[in-house]
């Protein structure tokens, strides 16, 4: 009798564990995108209130759908994109970046686009794009 009870208990625990693992796997996959985005974050520091320093460009990646910034000092930021030879840069409206939290400089950016960020003051922190 005890053996049957132990087997029944083990089967029930195994079924419950499988259910938790399946539920946990769904939750984990839902969190993959933000983690891989912020997991790809790089340190940044501005020179003359611009990152990366002129004449360099950053290039959007598949890691993030947005350009995300975690600034050590609150600042306004404007994201500017290269539109090709002979075309003026496309700059978006400035956005406020709160100190020490992840904020978005620009949303819904296609992969592989060259860009730079213009700040209203020199700052540093983390950037994920």
The pLDDT score that the predictor gives to residue 36 is 79
pLDDT digits (tens, 9 = 90+) for 75-92: 999 999 999 999 999 999
Cα angle, residue 59 at apex, residues 58 and 62 outer, rounded to 5°: 135
Lowest mean pLDDT among 13-17, 46-50, 102-106: 13-17
Q: Which of 68, 71, 59 is nearest to 37 (CA)?
A: 68
Rounded to a whole number, what is the distance in angstroms from the first to the last CA of the chain?
61
- Are the CB atoms for 109 and 66 separated by under 8 Å? yes
Between the CA of residue 72 and those of 26, 47, 81, 122, 126, what are the distances in Å? Answer: 34, 15, 24, 10, 8
pTM: 0.70
pLDDT digits (tens, 9 = 90+) for 101-112: 999 999 999 999
Q: What is the mean predicted confidence (pLDDT) over 50-57?
A: 95
């Amino acid at each position: 009798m005890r053996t049957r009870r132990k087997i029944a208990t083990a089967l029930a625990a195994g079924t419950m564990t499988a259910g938790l693992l399946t539920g946990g796997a769904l939750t984990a996959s839902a969190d993959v995108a933000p983690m891989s985005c912020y997991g790809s974050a790089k340190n940044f520091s501005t020179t003359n209130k611009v990152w990366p320093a002129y004449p360099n460009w950053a290039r959007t990646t598949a890691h993030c759908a947005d350009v995300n910034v975690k600034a050590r000092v609150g600042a306004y930021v404007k994201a500017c994109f290269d539109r090709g030879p002979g075309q003026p840069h496309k700059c978006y409206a400035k956005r406020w970046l709160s100190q020490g939290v992840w904020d978005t400089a620009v949303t819904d950016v296609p992969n592989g686009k060259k860009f730079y960020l213009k700040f209203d003051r020199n700052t540093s922190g983390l950037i994920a794009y």
